[in-house]
């Protein structure tokens, strides 16, 4: 399938996206957040909770207080000068010991130790990444579109069991949905969890459990199975760190989702997304952006161009954080009202357009959700058309439509039916991609060209107004968010000249090169 | 009035379609297991028309069977919220005439629920399916607090704004979380002796008027509700109550 | 949607079809059958049954005995010389009176009376046809693909009620399915019937009842509603006559179906189909051919070319019987195993090929049936893909897929779900037809070209061997049928020089002109 | 052994999906009517998730509910036909060795049923899903009479050809026509004291082994049956019977 696109327009779009990303990045590089510093603690090996159940990374960062602006690394490393591990220091602090500022003469050693601790963490992350490559070598990679399903029982044990069932049924990627509103809590829960609504918590232990469950069935199903969670909300970089250490393969990790859909403060999110993405990039994790959500609050027929404009921006911000295109899973969705005449042609046009605009990105295609109803037979049919468009336009990651989308989180059998339908449609329709092409000047091609023009126009306005302004005006997802509103602003601090973060020092120099991989 | 039974292709055939998964292997006894389950449930002449393995020890079934009994329409009293079919201007006129002041409505998706599209569809200008939202009504003062609003805050705001009606949206129903959260609001209002002060209304895709009433709400609106329908019901109800109150006084 | 086809090959195919049809037509014109003569009786106005329940047309033709070869018209007309109606004569014969041969001197009058009776019948048929045009004028014609559903409760009263429900739900065409094996009984039952398996009987009274039911809802739904039944089996021409008098709009009326799928004698069928089609043509009834059935006994992937070859032959035989292309609803089907890789591309290719081969014919597209199972969710999805291909390739009459096809004759709700899906898919996908085209040399175009070549090759062989021979060898539907085998041969007689049939005399001179309309 | 209940997304949740049509208008009471019907049928916590008008006075429902009870796998004794997994050559070898002559099998779609694809799949050379049909077996003499064969004719042919087994296909089941036609054959055989002379086997997409046995058949094969499975069962059964008979004699 090919489309006639104005290459000049495409080039302009990329240019505008870089222009829009620059100030956001400058802002992120001039600030830090409690989540970023907790991430330093985690990567230094701090884990566990105190008697009140407060995670030790939070204990340490709380202990920093106003010193947040200088970062956790130096005080923590300095405290380890006596040979203790960061974990032991954290436990001491939890027990009431102070977290002192290192005296000037201790700085060089502390700096050296911090650097070493960072290198160890980095090595562990790269080891996980290597392990993934080895397993993909061994078990092979599935053909695209990858079959992506969610498990959301709210109990990690049921989730693990259903993840295995899904894999046996033919799933290639399993996402464990988080509990409602985890994104709004300013810490990462500890240990395995067996409750939650609409899902259960993203915790390192839960990651480990489902990872093990999938690894267990890989030999049986004979292909590498990918695990996904959400590096999203108020703990973006911390969750990215947990995922990097437990070999997650994908993370929902958007530069704006938290702002728009969880009312998290924009400044906080722009800082957190930068560091979380650096980690995802380093870990070889494919990020999934969340533009699909725009069409749940804005009408799919009119807002298609906002998705594409955002794709350009998300891509630019990801590249700047060192994520190469093959790891940038740009999101979009099949969300035009199915009862709208010509809907399928329009969906086909958008899917094809995005495919051609980002040829190297593993596109994540989201199913119809907002316009599906309790009529499960109708939803089943819409899923079939969604699967058809997915394979006919060469999407890479297909999040399957579930016939009970409007009813409940998926039953095991709902997921099985979805997987069976996707496999059947993908096999039956795969040759359509080389069989059909857009009629020049036909309705589909014209639709694609129109939406591209609208997207570029929006990018021009955003570049003009600036990102913070655009968000305040509700240009994305019809949801206005003030620069100083939302949750988590108190956790943001402007970096002090003395700010030190060994991971940034280790990684930032490599980003440009990494991104061009 | 006699019972009516499901209609397949002949009046009285009682045919029902089912699908379900049993935690047992899809082996040679699977069909009988499925049939026996349906018989235990009371169905007559069950037919298993499809058997598939949902996992190692999980079997998915599609079945048809005759219902053991039907239902007597005369039994049914409860119903969806019934409101007069009033137009945008009729509703405004009613409030102006009978109340003489703007009706104050405050709404939110409470507690853990972040789904605002539903409440927005009722309250925001845009409305739903071409039917204007409450904000558009000159004689309604509509305040939409948005997502994940704690009950405590909602009650506080209702008092401060001297609201006539509280609109609550609950979309996530897993493990009955909506029931718990909706009940929490009622308890809170009763604890503070505020319950009678407001028209208490809830809505969501899995809510029904009957269920809402069981929980102690005045009305519950389900999937596909239209703002004008909600507004008409609130206006009429409020007018009725205030006139009743007046008569009480005088 | 366009396809590159070898116009030389297409021309050759039409030539071969005419060659194949010629001897079949010569045979039909040299013989008559009990069904044809009973048709004369019916068109003369004979109806009803005797005390034993035997229809009076059968009573008359039985009375002819060996004189079948000379036809019923003359003896019957002669008997009316005394002023009785054919009906009164039939009742007398039923009561035991003989049906005498007219003496020579009575022949001219008899001939004149027969001609007049035929003209009256013809006028009635044309009046029905005019009424249809008037109603289409008044209520309008639906857009294509027409939504065609079946009712098959086995009780004509339930059928009528469900036909109305279907119309309200959005059906454009309703077919009342016949009772299992009616095709094998050598008479047309009388009156309204409330039993039968898999359907109820095709009777003139049943036609009238459902016709009235549909006419009743036309004002409400605001479009002309078409009624369909089966001029098929051992009574092809008689049922065509009943339909012509009760304003049916379509008839399943195939030149070979009875032979292949009901083991009816080939000679009998070839004679009956000729006369039945003459009536359908005259009545403005759209015939539906039954090639879809081939793929229920032969594998869809390999036998696609037999469908197309048969389409060419059915068309040639229909034209020769005076049916113009706009009334020739050539049948084909979506019957390739859905689990076969590339299935959807192959279905798309065939549907597009047939569409382009017969641009003026209202193609009848049949749904997946043989490969569907009790997994109603899978069947629902297959129906959706079938609807998509139907609208994207511009089919004219879409017989809807029913999610319980493998389970039971459709429930009212099954039909409703099917109609809702078809309407949604048709509206959503209509612009695809002008939006997409076959990639030159791509898999789809190559597939279409291959199947066309195979079809022409088969036509060459049939032309070579002759139709009777081809059928004996099982070249169609993998079902061999000997020339002298099957049911109904005893009802065939070679025409005597004195054979006289006023309808043939009236219509045969007009056929060529009618066909070119 | 304890009862197992349907599995939705948690062990023990008992969730079942249903759809059905009630002959009543899709009005404000429709939801309650559907819920009450499900309660009458015994379901717990019924949820109506979709309501649509199927016609003026017809309402279509999609629902989820918890089953009132489950099923005890220990109860289940009946099962599909269990036959040894024998290969083409093993089956031929078995017949050659134990019977020493070809096994004669005669098949047909009886009475009003014109569906031959099923019986053909079992008997004809081609077979089904890559599994050879009975005609291919050198040690089986397979005669397929085809469609709409009257029971009388089938019995006559079976006698003339000294058949060991009679295979009957029934596909149309509307109004239990298959049950009636299958019973007709059994009655006929019994009337002529021929029942014991043959392995009597039926098959079809809506048939199960249990149902077949209730009707007086030796075995019944359902959807997706493979010729080799049918052949293996017949061979083993026939061998068993003849050896039993021999011992009876000797
Ligand atoms: C859009 C959407 C989202 C968006 C919400 C964006 C937003 N700002 O609202 C996003 C992507 C953020 C989201 C997130 C989640 N979602 Co969500 N989401 C949906 C989706 C696709 C559509 C809901 C919708 O907008 N419908 C359109 C509106 C107009 O319809 P409605 O809500 O029914 O409202 C109408 C009526 O109900 C009524 N009404 C509603 N409220 C009120 C209130 C009053 C007072 C009145 C009078 C009337 C009324 O009037 C409205 C107009 O007719 C549904 C699936 C579906 N198709 O229903 C899932 C769904 C609701 N989500 C679900 C889940 C589980 C989640 C998550 C928890 C998943 C996760 N763990 O990440 C998260 C977290 C959300 C949270 N913390 O609560 C589940 C809920 C399952 C269940 N029954 O418990 C659903 C059903 C999907 C599924 N099958 O899993 N979701
Ligand atoms: C093909 C077909 C036809 C063809 C038959 C061609 C032929 N020569 O067989 C034609 C077009 C002629 C036809 C006509 C009719 N059909 Co039909 N047909 C079908 C269809 C689409 C597929 C059946 C099929 O071939 N399946 C493939 C075979 C391989 O599967 P199978 O039969 O299940 O066989 C397997 C097993 O059951 C088993 N098996 C079967 N028989 C036997 C026997 C033995 C001894 C053993 C051991 C095993 C065994 O082994 C086989 C291989 O695994 C079904 C719908 C469906 N998808 O099932 C409708 C269907 C069976 N037909 C139906 C009807 C109603 C009819 C008609 C009566 C409709 C009409 N009034 O015109 C007519 C008349 C037929 C008649 N007089 O009986 C209904 C039956 C409804 C019901 N349950 O009562 C169905 C279900 C369609 C529907 N939903 O309405 N039909
Ligand atoms: C980018 C992104 N992050 C996170 C989520 C999940 O929401 P929550 O933050 O409530 O886990 C989604 C769900 O759609 C998403 O798209
Ligand atoms: C051309 C044709 N005639 C007739 C029929 C119906 O079969 P019967 O002759 O049993 O009514 C069909 C069914 O598919 C058909 O395609």
Q: Which residues of chain C have pLDDT under 70?
A: 1
Cβ-defined contact of C197 to D58 (cutoff 8 Å): no
**Chain A residues with beta carbon closer than 8 angstroms to that of B54:** 165, 169, 412-413, 416
Cβ-defined contact of B148 to A181 (cutoff 8 Å): yes
Q: Which pLDDT score, from 0 to 100, does residue B249 have? A: 63
pLDDT-derived band at B220 (thresholds 50, 70, 90) equals very high
- Give chain B's count of helices (H) and strands (E): 7, 8
DSSP string for residues in C297-327: HS-HHHHHHHHHHHHHHHHHHHHHTT--GGG
Percent helix, percent strand, percent coil in chain A, to nearest 5: 60, 10, 30
Cβ-defined contact of C168 to D172 (cutoff 8 Å): no
Residue located via tokens 């789809």: C444
Coil, strand or helix at D100: coil
Coil, strand or helix at C38: helix
Distance between CA atoms of residues A365 and A334, nearest Å: 8
- Report which bound ligand comes closest to the CA of D230: 2
Which residue, among C447, C231, C270, has the nearest Cα to C349 in the 3D structure?
Answer: C447
Beta carbons within 8 Å of A441's beta carbon, 6+ residues apart: none
Percent helix, percent strand, percent coil in chain B, to nearest 5: 40, 25, 40
Where are the alpha helices (H) located in C334-474, listed in sequence order? 343-357, 376-392, 412-429, 432-435, 443-465, 467-472
**Are the C-beta atoms of D60 and B16 separated by less than 8 Å?**
no
B98-127 confidence digits (pLDDT tens): 999 999 999 999 998 989 999 999 999 989
Angstrom distances, CA of residue A301 to CA of A305, A306, A308, A333, A345: 9, 11, 13, 11, 11
**Are the C-beta atoms of B157 and B143 separated by less than 8 Å?**
yes
Distance between CA atoms of residues C282 and C121, nearest Å: 11
Q: Which residues of B152-178 are buried (b: 16+ CB within 10 A; e: fewer)?
A: eebbebbeeeebbbbbbbbbbbbbebb
Helix H or strand E segment including A250: strand A250-252
Angstrom distances, CA of residue B177 to CA of B111, C309, D64: 10, 63, 18
Coil, strand or helix at C290: coil
Q: Which residues of B are catalytic?
A: 126
Active site residue D175: no
Contacts 24+ apart (CB under 8 A), C218-223: C218/C135, C218/C139, C218/C167, C219/C139, C220/C168, C221/C167, C221/C168, C222/C139, C222/C140, C223/C139, C223/C140, C223/C141, C223/C142, C223/C172
Q: Which pLDDT score, from 0 to 100, does residue D29 have? A: 94
Q: Which pLDDT score, from 0 to 100, does residue D2 have? A: 83
Helix H or strand E segment including D233: helix D227-249
Distance between CA atoms of residues A135 and C252, nearest Å: 59
**Chain C residues with beta carbon closer than 8 angstroms to that of A432:** 344-345, 348, 444
Distance between CA atoms of residues D198 and D163, nearest Å: 7
Beta carbons within 8 Å of D93's beta carbon, 6+ residues apart: none
Q: Which pLDDT score, from 0 to 100, does residue D1 have? A: 64
User: Residues 44 to 103 of D: which have CB under 8 A from any B CB?
Assistant: 47, 49, 58, 67-71, 73, 75-80, 82
DSSP string for residues in C100-125: PPPPGGGHHHHHHHHHHHHHHHHHHH
Sheet with B140-144: strands ordered across: B140-144, B103-109, B165-169, B199-203, B219-221
Distance between CA atoms of residues C167 and C175, nearest Å: 12
Beta carbons within 8 Å of A105's beta carbon, 6+ residues apart: none
* CB-ligand 3 contact for A257 (6 Å cutoff): yes
Distance between CA atoms of residues D178 and D169, nearest Å: 9
Q: Which pLDDT score, from 0 to 100, does residue C462 have? A: 98
Residue B115 Cα to ligand 1 middle (Å)? 5
Coil, strand or helix at A433: helix
Helix axes A412-429, C376-392, angle to 10 degrees: 30
Q: Which of C233, C413, C418 to substitute to test the interface with D, most D CBs within 10 Å? A: C413
Which residue, among C438, C433, C381, C379, has the nearest Cα to C408 in the 3D structure?
Answer: C379
Q: Does D17 touch chain A (CB under 8 A)?
A: yes
User: Residues 381 to 400 of C: which have CB under 8 A from any A CB?
Assistant: 381, 383-385, 388
Helix axes C266-282, C300-320, angle to 10 degrees: 60
Distance between CA atoms of residues C58 and C40, nearest Å: 11
Q: In sequence order, what E strands does chain D have?
A: 15-22, 44-55, 58-66, 103-109, 140-144, 165-169, 199-203, 219-221
Distance between CA atoms of residues A341 and D99, nearest Å: 68
Helix H or strand E segment including A448: helix A443-465
Q: Which of C377, C378, C428 lies nearest to residue A338, judging by beta carbons?
A: C428
Count other Cβ atoms within 10 Å, centred on residue C67.
18
pLDDT (tens, 9 = 90+) of chain A, 517 residues, equals 678 899 999 999 999 999 999 999 999 999 999 999 999 999 999 999 999 999 999 999 999 999 999 999 999 999 999 999 999 999 999 999 999 999 999 999 999 999 999 999 999 999 999 999 999 999 999 999 999 999 999 999 999 999 999 999 999 999 999 987 789 999 999 999 998 878 899 999 999 999 999 999 999 999 999 999 999 999 999 999 999 999 999 999 999 999 998 889 999 999 999 999 999 999 999 999 999 999 988 899 999 999 999 999 999 999 999 999 999 999 999 999 999 999 999 999 999 999 999 999 999 999 999 999 999 999 999 999 999 999 999 999 999 999 999 999 999 999 999 999 999 999 999 999 999 999 999 999 999 999 999 999 999 999 999 999 999 999 998 889 999 999 999 999 999 999 999 999 999 999 999 999 8
Coil, strand or helix at C399: strand
Which residue, among A103, A120, A98, has the nearest Cα to A40 in the 3D structure?
Answer: A120
Q: Which numbered atom of ligand 2 lies nearest the CA of D170?
A: 41
Q: Which numbered atom of ligand 4 lies nearest the CA of C289?
A: 1
Burial class (CB within 10 angstroms; exposed 0-12, middle 13-18, buried 19+) of C129: middle
Largest CA distance in chain D: 78
Instruction: Judge if the upstream peptide bond of residue A145 is cis by omega within 30 degrees of 0.
Output: yes
Distance between CA atoms of residues A371 and A340, nearest Å: 11
**Chain C residues with beta carbon closer than 8 angstroms to that of A343:** 427-428
Which residue, among A104, A448, A159, has the nearest Cα to A304 in the 3D structure?
Answer: A448
**Chain A residues with beta carbon closer than 8 angstroms to that of D50:** 373-376
Beta carbons within 8 Å of B55's beta carbon, 6+ residues apart: A164, A165, A168, A169, A412, A416
**Are the C-beta atoms of C361 and C315 separated by less than 8 Å?**
yes
Token pair for A255:
């530069």
The one catalytic residue in C292, C414, C421, C499 is C292
**Are the C-beta atoms of C179 and C199 separated by less than 8 Å?**
yes
Where are the alpha helices (H) located in chain B, listed in sequence order? 30-40, 88-99, 117-123, 151-160, 177-191, 209-214, 227-249
Neighbours of chain A (3+ CB pairs under 8 A): B, C, D
Angle at C433 between CA C430 and CA C439, to 5 degrees: 150
Token pair for A504:
């940034």
Cβ-defined contact of B54 to A412 (cutoff 8 Å): yes
C365-388 confidence digits (pLDDT tens): 999 999 999 999 999 999 999 999
Beta carbons within 8 Å of A318's beta carbon, 6+ residues apart: A255, A277, A281, A287, A289, A327, A328
Distance between CA atoms of residues A501 and A215, nearest Å: 34
pLDDT-derived band at B1 (thresholds 50, 70, 90) equals low
């Amino acid at each position: 399938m090919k489309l006639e696109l104005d290459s000049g327009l495409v080039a302009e779009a990329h240019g505008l996206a870089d222009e829009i990303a620059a100030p956001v990045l400058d802002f992120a590089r001039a600030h830090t957040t409690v989540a970023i510093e907790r991430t330093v603690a985690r990567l230094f090996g701090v884990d566990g909770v105190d008697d009140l159940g407060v995670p030790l990374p939070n204990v340490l960062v709380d202990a920093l207080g106003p010193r947040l602006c200088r970062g956790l690394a130096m005080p923590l490393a300095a405290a380890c000068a006596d040979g203790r591990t960061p974990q032991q220091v954290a436990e001491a602090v939890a027990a009431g010991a102070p977290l002192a500022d290192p005296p000037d003469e201790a700085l060089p050693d502390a700096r050296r130790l911090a650097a070493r601790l960072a290198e160890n963490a980095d090595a562990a992350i790269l080891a996980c990444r290597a392990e993934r490559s080895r397993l993909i070598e061994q078990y092979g990679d599935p053909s695209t579109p990858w079959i992506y399903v969610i498990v959301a029982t709210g109990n990690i044990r049921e989730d693990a069991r259903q993840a295995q069932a899904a894999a046996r049924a033919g799933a290639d990627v399993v996402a464990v949905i988080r509990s409602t509103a985890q994104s709004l809590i300013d810490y990462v829960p500890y240990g395995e969890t067996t409750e939650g609504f609409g899902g259960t918590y993203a915790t390192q232990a839960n990651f480990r459990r489902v990872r093990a469950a999938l690894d267990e069935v890989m030999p049986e199903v004979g292909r590498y199975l990918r695990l996904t969670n959400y590096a999203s909300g108020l703990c973006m970089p911390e969750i990215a760190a947990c995922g990097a250490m437990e070999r997650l393969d994908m993370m929902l990790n958007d530069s704006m989702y938290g702002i728009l859909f969880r009312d998290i403060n924009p400044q906080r999110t722009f800082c957190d997304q930068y560091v979380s993405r650096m980690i995802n990039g380093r870990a070889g994790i494919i990020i999934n952006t969340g533009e699909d959500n725009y069409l749940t609050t804005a009408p799919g027929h009119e807002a298609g161009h906002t998705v594409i404009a955002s794709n350009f921006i998300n891509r630019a911000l990801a590249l700047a954080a060192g994520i190469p295109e093959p790891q940038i899973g740009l999101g979009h969705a099949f969300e035009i009202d199915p009862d709208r005449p010509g809907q399928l042609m329009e969906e086909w046009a958008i899917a094809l357009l995005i495919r051609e605009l980002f040829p190297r990105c593993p596109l994540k295609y989201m199913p119809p959700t907002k316009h599906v109803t309790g009529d499960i037979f109708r939803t089943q049919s819409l899923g079939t058309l969604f699967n058809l468009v997915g394979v006919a336009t060469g999407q890479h990651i297909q999040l399957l439509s579930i016939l009970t989308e409007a009813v409940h989180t998926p039953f095991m059998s709902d997921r099985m039916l979805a997987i069976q339908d996707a496999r059947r449609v993908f096999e039956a329709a795969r040759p359509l991609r080389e069989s059909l092409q857009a009629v020049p000047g036909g309705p589909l091609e014209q639709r694609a060209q129109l939406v591209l023009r609208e997207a570029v126009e929006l990018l021009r306005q955003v570049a003009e107004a600036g990102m913070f302004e655009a968000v305040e005006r509700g240009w994305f997802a019809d949801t206005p968010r003030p620069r100083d509103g939302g949750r988590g602003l108190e956790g943001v601090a402007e970096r002090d000249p003395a700010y030190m973060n060994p991971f940034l020092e280790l990684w930032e120099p490599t980003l440009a090169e990494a991104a061009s991989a | 009035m006699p019972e009516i039974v499901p209609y397949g292709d002949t009046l009285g055939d009682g045919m029902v379609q089912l699908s379900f998964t049993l935690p047992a292997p899809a082996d040679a006894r699977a069909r009988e297991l499925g049939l026996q389950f349906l018989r235990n449930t009371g169905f007559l002449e069950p037919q298993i028309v499809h058997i598939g393995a949902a996992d190692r020890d999980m079997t998915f079934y599609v079945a048809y069977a005759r219902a053991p009994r039907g239902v007597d329409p005369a039994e049914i009293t409860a119903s969806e919220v019934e409101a007069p079919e009033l137009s945008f201007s009729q509703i405004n006129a009613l409030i102006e005439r009978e109340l003489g002041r703007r009706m104050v409505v405050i709404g939110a998706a409470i507690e853990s629920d972040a789904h605002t599209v539903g409440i927005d569809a009722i309250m925001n200008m845009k409305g739903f399916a071409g039917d204007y939202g409450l904000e558009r009504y000159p004689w309604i003062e509509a305040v939409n607090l948005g997502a994940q609003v704690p009950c405590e805050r909602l009650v506080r705001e209702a008092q401060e704004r001297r609201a006539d009606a509280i609109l609550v949206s609950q979309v996530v129903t897993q493990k009955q979380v909506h029931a718990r959260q909706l009940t929490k609001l009622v308890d809170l209002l009763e604890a503070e002796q505020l319950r009678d002060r407001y028209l208490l209304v809830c809505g969501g895709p899995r809510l029904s008027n009957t269920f809402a009433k069981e929980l102690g709400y005045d009305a519950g609106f389900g999937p596909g509700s239209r703002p004008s329908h909600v507004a008409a019901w609130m206006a009429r109800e409020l007018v009725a109550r205030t006139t009743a109150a007046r008569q009480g006084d005088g």
